[in-house]
Amino acid sequence: MDIKKRSKIDIIKDALEITQKNTTKTNIIIRLNIGWRKGEKIFELLISKELVKKIDAPYGYKTNIYFITEKGINFIKHYNEITNTIDYEIINRYEKSTPNSIN
């Protein structure tokens, strides 16, 4: 099994994708499969950069809800554009440097 360590920016993108469906902080951290401390730091960053917004728990509930902002949606869009461009360039470079074994 190939386990890939995610970068901080990958975790941020994953968290933003999860918050597209309004959810709780606990649910997001569990789905990210990261420790609570790291999750708290990610949330501080997401909120301070206005990528995610918090809705206070409605009366009678204990848990706040988090949702993605327009800025967060743009982050995902740009992330995907960049990673797709990089992947495309790496594949092209690899194909050009590898001799064609099939004639």
Domains of the chain (ranges; CATH) run: 8-97 (1.10.10.10)
Contact (Cβ atoms closer than 8 angstroms) between residue 15 and residue 51? no
Model confidence at 88, in pLDDT bands (50, 70, 90)?
low
In the structure, what pLDDT confidence band is assigned to residue 61 with cuts at 50, 70 and 90?
A: confident
For residue 52, pLDDT over 80 is answered with yes
* Residues whose CB falls within 8 Å of the CB of residue 26, separated by 6 or more in sequence, listed in order: 63
Confidence band of 17 (pLDDT split at 50, 70, 90): very high
Residue 60: its pLDDT value, please?
74
The closest alpha carbon to 49, from 82, 13, 6, 101, belongs to 13
d(CA 73, CA 10): 14
pLDDT at 5 over 90: no
Q: What is the number of alpha carbons within 13 Å of residue 23 lying toward its C-beta?
A: 16
pTM of the model: 0.76
On the question of pLDDT at 102 being above 50, the answer is no
Are 15 and 32 contacting, i.e. CB atoms less than 8 angstroms apart? yes
Distance CA 10, CA 12 (A): 5
